[in-house]
């Protein structure tokens, strides 16, 4: 898949997540966490997504979980189900540290 096709896929996936997430606003509040700004400011969304995914996979407490990462214009959306709030906090911390990430949209939930 070429870079343009990957970018288009991410935009469509992000738009779909926005539509699905918008239908459930009364049940789940979105947490917007400001991320560290990039020094260059020119990091591609696909690169931000890859940086976050790789960092999440390297973390021993998170690597076994299916955490979806979608980036649009530097805004990173995390979705998935984890075992504890501390894991959610760690995932947000990792995403916030990714080069090029502007805002983290936390849609992670705790397994019941």
62-76 pLDDT tens trace:
989 999 999 999 999
Q: How many residues does the chain have?
A: 112
Task: List pLDDT tens digits, range 2-25.
Answer: 555 666 565 566 655 555 555 444
For residues 82 and 65, the answer to whether their CB atoms sit within 8 Å is: yes
C-alpha distances in Å from residue 83, one per residue of 8, 54, 86, 88, 108: 32, 20, 9, 8, 10
Q: What is the pTM of this model?
A: 0.65
Angle made by CA atoms 81, 82, 88, in degrees to the nearest 5: 110
Contact 76, 95 (CB under 8 A): yes
Per-domain residue ranges of the chain: 3-110
């Amino acid at each position: 898949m070429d870079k343009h096709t990957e970018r288009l896929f991410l935009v469509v996936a992000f738009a779909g997540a926005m539509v699905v997430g918008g239908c459930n606003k009364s049940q789940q509040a979105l947490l917007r966490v400001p991320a560290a700004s990039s020094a260059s400011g020119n990091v591609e969304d696909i690169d931000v997504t890859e940086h976050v995914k790789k960092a999440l996979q390297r973390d021993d407490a998170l690597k076994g979980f299916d955490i979806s990462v979608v980036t649009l214009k530097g805004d990173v959306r995390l979705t998935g189900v984890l075992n504890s709030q501390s894991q959610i906090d760690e995932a947000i911390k990792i995403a916030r540290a990714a080069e090029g990430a502007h805002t983290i949209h936390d849609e992670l939930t705790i397994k019941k």
